[in-house]
Structure 1
Amino acid sequence: MSVKDNIIKARSHIIFLLALACGLGLVTAIDSRSDGADETQNAGGQMAQFDDVSPLPLAIAGTSSPDDIAYAQIAWRYFQNNTDPTTGLVNSTDNYPSTTMWETGSYFVATISAERLGIIARSEAVARIGLALETLNDIRLFDGMLPNKAYNVRTGELVNYANEPVARGLGWSALDIARMVAALGHVEANYPELAPQTARLINRWHLSEMVENGQLIGGNMIEGNLRRDQEGRVGYEQYAAKAMMLFGYDVYNAYDAESHLMVRDVEGHPIPVDTRLHRNVTPAFTVSEPYLFDGLEFGFDARSARFATAIYRAQEARYRNSGILTAVSESHIDVAPYFIYSSVWGGGAPWAVMTFRGDRLDSKRTITTKVAFAWDALFGTDYTRELVAAIAPLGDTERGWPEGIYEIDGTTNSSVTVNTNAVVLASLAFRAHGPLIRAGR
């Protein structure tokens, strides 16, 4: 094959790499621009409270221990059990055949991570992701524009959150789609042979419908009408913005955390909190989740490194001050209402645990499996090793990793989910190979 033929064959991969370079360059430029604006226009403002936060170094080991591989194999069991052979999609929780774009993105991240760790062969990773991409390229979109908020894993039908078919759909989540866009970027970087399928998908989705004035816009069906709402709060919004930047979208206002930032002291550490209401209903909250994804996938930027360090240190400080192991984020639970936000700061108070509706449910605070593994991979401190040691006995070789340990009585939060097992795999792959955005090994 001639050099010209090789270049033509690789053109999709080349285009992606150029876009990646431009996107990461834009992030760096925005960081510099934001730093300059902060110094000249917002001296003594909210961001200044992070000036004394020294980011923890990333704990990339460059290798995997036997325990790491054993933990990864437990996590991969979830995907072996929960992948539909026809659609290639994966259940959101064990044996529950519904998924979102966020959870499908988690599946792609898990598959790339498993292959990096040698848990599966490259051919299996390509086949798995390729089948799921075929389905995503064929399923019906909400109003023919963007992925619906939820799909039936077995049929690919648009469904509501009870996994019941809906004629038009629920609308779209800009954050979920952006998380999926990030995953597509990782797929292209690692498996260039899948670039035609990812390109077709990106071209099929009308992503411009969820970007307006540099912000991320979600679509929500309210009493039969579509309402467009700004989506994302500090942490999640910036992670999603980075993903969209990889594919050339102008989301500067979404990446700008300072405009809606307030800082709250928790255990002596500054915690970034959004001034806007969560879902326009309850006070916003700060959890570990978006910072874990940012670090594991992109490797942090100057701002998110400080935010993540402060959020981690507050959790360690709570343990040092109270003796209670602390690793909090959003998570599923095994009793109603089945989903909670365990915050560092939320609802106007530190360590609040809130339901989807904003009610307090502190009795279900969980020492979270994914947070323990991710902080340990990112920072590798004595405290993170204590967290993993506490979680390690929960690994189930037949089902995967459960959500964690209920703080109140030490019992297991036995819900088993795609997101937790994906984060475990991504964390262990990060320890050996660094951020997921790095193509190749």
Structure 2
Amino acid sequence: MSFRENIIKARGSLIFLAALICGLLLVTTLERNMPATSETADGANAPTELSAPIAVAAPITAFDDVDPLPLANTGESKPGDLDYARIAWRYFANNTNHDTGLVNSADKYPSTTMWETGSYFMAVISADLLGIIETEEAVSRLSLALDTLARIRLFDEMLPNKAYNTRTGELVDYSNQPVERGLGWSALDIARMVAAMSHAEQSYPELAVKVDAVIDHWDLDQMVENGELIGGNIADGNLRRDQEGRVGYGQYAAKAMMLRGFDMVLAYNAEANLMVQTVEGQPIPVDARLHRNITPAFTVSEPYVFDGLEFGFDYRSHRFATAIYQAQEARFRETGQLTAVSESHLDEAPYFAYSTVWGGGAPWAVMTFSGDRIDSKRTITVKTAFAWDALFGTDYTAELVDALSELGDPERGWPEGIYEADGVVNGSFTTNTNAVVLASLAFRAFGPLSRVNQ
């Protein structure tokens, strides 16, 4: 093969590496030059108010005293890891539509979002790395999904709708019913999909042309404005463009968009809207703005474990993640109650909840989309346990995984976890949980996904 042919074949990896290097340089520059914010008169623990934005309670220097936990050793799987991975892959074997290549967001429920489609891509890459599937199957699965993403009907011919039917690829509402115009777009969901496609392009350079076809089909410029992420929402029949992304999710999404060369300076800047709440003796990063412009923002594990598993922590996210993890371990040490919280599906109404470290103005709140408290639905989540164990590998994370290890169903995959209140299994099976299990096990063997094959 000629030098030119080799360069063409490696095109995807070279583009990814160049973008990653530029992104990392930008991140480093931003971290060194972020302006410090002043404390409010109420001090570091000022309560959230029902208005946005509110005064920032503490600068980023509040985390300088957080000693980041050492990362767990990577390079070798533990006994049982491959069995756990095979259980997780069963979910995808059961829930992939072979016409569209899309995967059900929940077991046998034929609807998905770009966030969950991104999770599916991570699952495929991880399963291939672990040897659960052959590389040929991985490429075939991702290729089919990319073909669908390159031709799906978009919201207002701009960007992917918030939800799609996995069987038909058609725009749907949240009850999976067809909707002519659509619901708008989620910038965070699309950014996760952009990250997933970048990882796929890096892992399988032959998919670069198909990734480009998707990117050409979507008008990503519509969701980036002045360095911020912009979501599209329908209000009284009209398109409303809203800033999207809170501390944690915003920075993860910013890194994803940096890979495609977008200016994410404000989205990456957590300090501008940061307040610190002390939970179990740990400084917890909380966004000072409202979530969905309705309820006080919240902090969960999700965006931090994604950041670590996919990109590898940076200086700031390592300290944020350490504090968030240590608060959960401290709660266990204090109460004896196993704690591994994040957003999660529920197997009964209201079917989705944010189990927070801090949320809605209080520690350990469990919140619905509308901000109602449903603390009885706090779940010890499988995905959070596996992710923290892969990242930090402490005695406590091992105890978490051991406590949940019997939940895996070889015929269905991993459920969400166990309800803390009564010990009953939260029997919802989802794309996100099973994808995070696979990504966590792949991390243990190979390290951050963005650094594999470099």
Q: TM-score, with normalisation over the residues of structure 1?
A: 0.97
Name the counterpart of 1:116.
129
d(CA) in 1 for partners of 2:73, 2:18:
26
Q: CA deviation at 1:22?
A: 1.2
Given the superposition, is the C-alpha separation of residues 326 and 8 from structure 1 closer, same or farther in structure 2, using an over 3 Å criterion?
Answer: closer
Name the counterpart of 1:20.
20
Gaps of 5+ in 2: 45-57
Name the counterpart of 2:168.
155
Give SS of 1:413's match: strand
The AA in structure 2 aligned to 1:173 is S
d(CA) in 2 for partners of 1:253, 1:330:
25
Aligned CA RMSD, in angstroms, stands at: 1.3
Matching residue within 401, 420, 442 for 1:407: 420
Give SS of 1:138's match: coil
Q: How does 1:390-429 map to 2 (within 5 A)?
A: 390-429=403-442
Q: CA deviation at 1:100?
A: 0.3
The AA in structure 2 aligned to 1:4 is R
Q: CA deviation at 1:223?
A: 2.1
* 1:32 partnered with 2:57: no
Q: What are the Cα deviations for residues 69-119 of structure 1, in whole angstroms up to 9, with x where unaligned?
A: 000000000000000011110000000000000000000000000111111
The AA in structure 2 aligned to 1:304 is S
Name the counterpart of 1:296.
309
Q: How does 1:4-403 map to 2 (within 5 A)?
A: 4-34=4-34, 37-38=35-36, 45-403=58-416
The AA in structure 1 aligned to 2:175 is A
Of stretches 19-28 and 214-223 in structure 1, the one that deviates more from structure 2 is 19-28
Q: CA deviation at 1:12?
A: 4.1
d(CA) in 1 for partners of 2:345, 2:162:
18
The AA in structure 1 aligned to 2:311 is F
Give SS of 2:231's match: strand
The AA in structure 2 aligned to 1:262 is M
Give SS of 1:427's match: helix
Give SS of 2:239's match: strand
Q: CA deviation at 1:32?
A: 2.1
d(CA) in 2 for partners of 1:134, 1:9:
20
Q: CA deviation at 1:42?
A: 5.3
d(CA) in 2 for partners of 1:329, 1:131:
31
Of stretches 332-341 and 54-63 in structure 1, the one that deviates more from structure 2 is 54-63
Give SS of 2:18's match: helix
Q: CA deviation at 1:270?
A: 0.4
Gaps of 5+ in 1: none
Contact 2:345–2:351, Cα closer than 8 Å, also in 1: yes
Q: What are the Cα deviations for residues 26-46 of structure 1, in whole angstroms up to 9, with x where unaligned?
A: 222222222xx33xx759943
Contact 2:12–2:202, Cα closer than 8 Å, also in 1: no
Q: What are the Cα deviations for residues 368-424 of structure 1, in whole angstroms up to 9, with x where unaligned?
A: 000000000000000001100111010000000000000001110000000000000
Contact 2:112–2:165, Cα closer than 8 Å, also in 1: yes
Contact 1:60–1:433, Cα closer than 8 Å, also in 2: no
Q: CA deviation at 1:150?
A: 0.4
Q: What are the Cα deviations for residues 270-318 of structure 1, in whole angstroms up to 9, with x where unaligned?
A: 0000000000000111000000100000111100000000000000000
The AA in structure 2 aligned to 1:354 is M
Using the aligned pairs only, state the percent identity.
71
d(CA) in 1 for partners of 2:15, 2:378:
45
Q: What are the Cα deviations for residues 333-382 of structure 1, in whole angstroms up to 9, with x where unaligned?
A: 00100000000000000000011110000000000000000000000000
d(CA) in 1 for partners of 2:241, 2:205:
35
d(CA) in 2 for partners of 1:357, 1:129:
35
Contact 1:24–1:246, Cα closer than 8 Å, also in 2: no
Contact 1:60–1:430, Cα closer than 8 Å, also in 2: no
Q: CA deviation at 1:19?
A: 1.8
Q: CA deviation at 1:324?
A: 0.5
Q: CA deviation at 1:152?
A: 0.3
Give SS of 2:230's match: strand
Contact 1:266–1:314, Cα closer than 8 Å, also in 2: yes
Q: CA deviation at 1:2?
A: 2.2
d(CA) in 1 for partners of 2:135, 2:337:
41
Contact 2:446–2:452, Cα closer than 8 Å, also in 1: no
Give SS of 2:350's match: coil
The AA in structure 2 aligned to 1:209 is Q
Q: CA deviation at 1:9?
A: 4.1
Report how many aligned residue pairs link the two structures.
437
The AA in structure 2 aligned to 1:19 is A
